[in-house]
């Protein structure tokens, strides 16, 4: 059985966007797996990978790191699942992967950075604060005055996806696919870590997220 190593917080909360992207992909495609929780300071658990990041997918012949590499591995090793239905699907998925990681997640971090310590405990809190404040060259509270403008920026940034959802029902088309899985982690991250209203309840993207969340929860439970 596949093993998915994923980031975990207090009370076993799973909150990593790329980990959720992979988990939803596995669930959506009915691929059997089990998860291994890894906290920020649990580096020994993943020392076998010779790097320090999750997700990691362990299989009978070894392991794969990085969510995009994992998606490609699944596509190659489960050809009947048709993770990418064609080359256009693969290209658009790669765009979503890059856009999410390089453009959208930094915006979302400004919104929720100050709340993430609330879902951590023990040494993980110190690890998070030290590593993130070194990365942004200042305290995470420096983003507090930017929360409202960052929410507005995020809502405007995803308008092309909103229009696709309005037209098709999902990003992938009439039913959810890998493109939806890749985009899902953005919202799950905020949902787990924050109390902010990232989207209006009547936003088609919010309704899309709620539908995917039901799929994820039903399969996990």
pLDDT (tens place) for every residue of the chain, 221 residues total:
999 999 999 999 999 999 999 999 999 999 999 999 999 999 999 999 999 999 999 999 999 999 999 999 999 999 999 999 999 999 999 999 999 999 999 999 999 999 999 999 999 999 999 999 999 999 999 999 999 999 999 999 999 999 999 999 999 999 999 999 999 999 999 999 999 999 999 999 999 999 999 999 876 64
Domains of the chain in start order, with CATH, are: 2-81 (3.40.30.10), 87-220 (1.20.1050.10)
Measure the CA dihedral 49/44/219/215, to 10°: -70
Pairing type for strands 33-38 and 2-7 reads parallel
Q: Which two tokens stand for residue 216?
A: 């994820």
Per-residue DSSP letters for 139-198?
A: -GGGGGGGHHHHHHHHHHHTHHHHHHHHHHSSSSSSS--HHHHHHHHHHHHHHHH--S--
Task: Find where tokens 């929410």 sit.
Answer: 151
Q: With a threshold of 0.85, does the pTM exceed it?
A: yes
């Amino acid at each position: 059985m596949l093993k998915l190593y994923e980031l975990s917080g207090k009370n076993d909360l799973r909150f990593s966007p790329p980990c959720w992207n992979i988990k939803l992909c596995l669930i959506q495609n009915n691929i059997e797996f089990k998860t291994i929780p890894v906290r920020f300071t649990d580096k020994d658990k993943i020392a076998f990978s010779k790097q320090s990041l999750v997700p990691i997918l362990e299989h009978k012949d070894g392991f794969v790191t990085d969510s995009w590499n994992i998606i490609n591995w699944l596509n190659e090793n489960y050809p009947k699942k048709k993770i990418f239905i064609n080359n256009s699907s693969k290209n658009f998925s790669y765009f979503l992967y890059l856009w999410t990681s390089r453009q959208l997640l930094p915006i979302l971090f400004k919104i929720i950075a100050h709340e993430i310590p609330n879902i951590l405990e023990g040494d993980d809190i110190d690890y998070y604060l030290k590593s993130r404040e070194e990365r942004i060259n200042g305290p995470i509270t420096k983003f507090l005055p930017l929360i409202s403008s960052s929410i507005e920026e995020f809502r405007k940034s995803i308008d092309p996806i909103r229009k696709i959802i309005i037209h098709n029902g999902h990003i992938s088309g009439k039913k959810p696919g890998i493109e939806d899985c890749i985009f899902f982690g953005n919202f799950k991250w905020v949902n787990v870590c924050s109390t902010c209203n990232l989207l209006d309840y009547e936003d088609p993207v919010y309704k899309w997220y709620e539908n995917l969340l039901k799929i994820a929860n039903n399969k996990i439970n």
